[in-house]
Structure 1
Amino acid sequence: MALVDQLNEQMKTAMKARDKETLSTVRMLKAAVQNKQIELGHDLTEDDEKALLSTELKQRKESLVEFQNANREDLVKPLENEIKIVESYLPAQLDEAAVTALVEETIQEVGATGKSDFGKVMKTLMPKVKGQADGGLVNRIVKEKLG
Structure 2
Amino acid sequence: MTQLRNRVNAGLKDAMRNRETDRVCTLRLINAAIKDRDIATRTEGATEGATDADVLQILDKMVRQRQESARAYEEGGRLELAEKERAEIVVLEEFMPRRLSDDEVGEAVDKAISQTGAQSIRDMGKVMGVLKTRYAGQMDFGSVGPKVRERLSAEQRA
Shorter-chain TM-score above 0.5: yes
The yes-or-no answer on 1:45 pairing with 2:51 is yes
When structure 1 is superposed on structure 2, of 10-19 and 22-31 the one drifting more is 10-19
When structure 1 is superposed on structure 2, of 23-32 and 102-111 the one drifting more is 102-111
Name the counterpart of 2:29.
28
Tell me the amino acid that sits aligned with residue 65 of structure 2. Q
Tell me the amino acid that sits aligned with residue 147 of structure 2. I
The yes-or-no answer on 1:90 pairing with 2:63 is no
When structure 1 is superposed on structure 2, of 85-94 and 3-12 the one drifting more is 3-12
How far did residue 55 of structure 1 move? 1.9
Name the counterpart of 2:156.
none
Name the counterpart of 1:127.
133
The size of the alignment, in residue pairs, is 147
How far did residue 54 of structure 1 move? 1.8
Tell me the amino acid that sits aligned with residue 69 of structure 2. S
Name the counterpart of 2:150.
144
Report if the CA contact (8 A) 2:5-2:55 is conserved.
no
Structure 2: any 5+ residue segments left out of the alignment? 43-47, 154-158
Whole-angstrom distance in 2 between the partners of 1:39 and 1:124: 23
Tell me the amino acid that sits aligned with residue 21 of structure 1. D
Report if the CA contact (8 A) 2:97-2:137 is conserved.
yes
In structure 2, do the counterparts of structure 1 residues 140 and 70 end up closer, same or farther at CA, with 3 Å as the change threshold?
A: farther
Whole-angstrom distance in 2 between the partners of 1:119 and 1:4: 29
In structure 2, do the counterparts of structure 1 residues 8 and 123 end up closer, same or farther at CA, with 3 Å as the change threshold?
A: closer
Same amino acid, percent of matched pairs: 30
Query: RMSD of aligned C-alpha atoms?
Result: 2.2
